Amino acid sequence: MARIIKRYENRKLYDTENRKYISLEEIANLIRQGEEVQVIDNTTEADITVQTLTQVIVEEGKRGRNPLSSEVLHEIIRWGNHLLDDSLQQVRHGLDQLVPNSLGKLFGKGESSEISELKKRIESLEQVINTLANQLSIEQEKNEENSSTN
């Protein structure tokens, strides 16, 4: 189950499990330790996990810990979310069919816990990539608006 983080109107993040305010860097550390987090807007109860994880990645970049190369970021901007989403879905679909079938043939049983863990990790990577793509799209729109006003 994901750890619930609530974001308040003052933009503070509150870890409901530890009952304390938490920073973006602390959220990054939780994720590095294998935790799943879900960020909920306290007022609207909307799931804002994607936006918050995007902020985490941006902050990591500001600290010099760039999780993605500039080439990958350029490609994400060029091709947008659709190409990225389609590619991820194809990879996931292939893995979903290939790996369990192969393991079933090898070991004569269903999906192993290792496969389940790999699926979780793939889903986590998909979230990070989607978050980055969304953030880059927002930044690109802002840059275009700034360019048009100048």
Predicted TM-score of the model (pTM) = 0.51
For residue 97, what pLDDT is reported? Answer: 65
pLDDT for residue 55 is more than 70: yes
- Residue 59 scores a pLDDT above 90: no
What's phi and psi for 112, nearest 5 deg? -85, 165
pLDDT band per the 50, 70, 90 thresholds, residue 72:
confident
Q: What is the 3-state secondary structure (H, E, C) of 93-141?
A: HHHHHHHHHHHHHHHCCCCCHHHHHHHHHHHHHHHHHHHHHHHHHHHHH
How far is CA 69 from each of CA 46, 55, 61, 114, rounded to the nearest angstrom? Answer: 31, 17, 10, 29
Q: How many CB atoms lie within 10 A of CB 106?
A: 8
**50: its two tokens:** 């994607």
Q: Tell me, what's the pLDDT at 48?
A: 92
Closest CA relative to residue 48, chosen from 74, 32, 27: 27
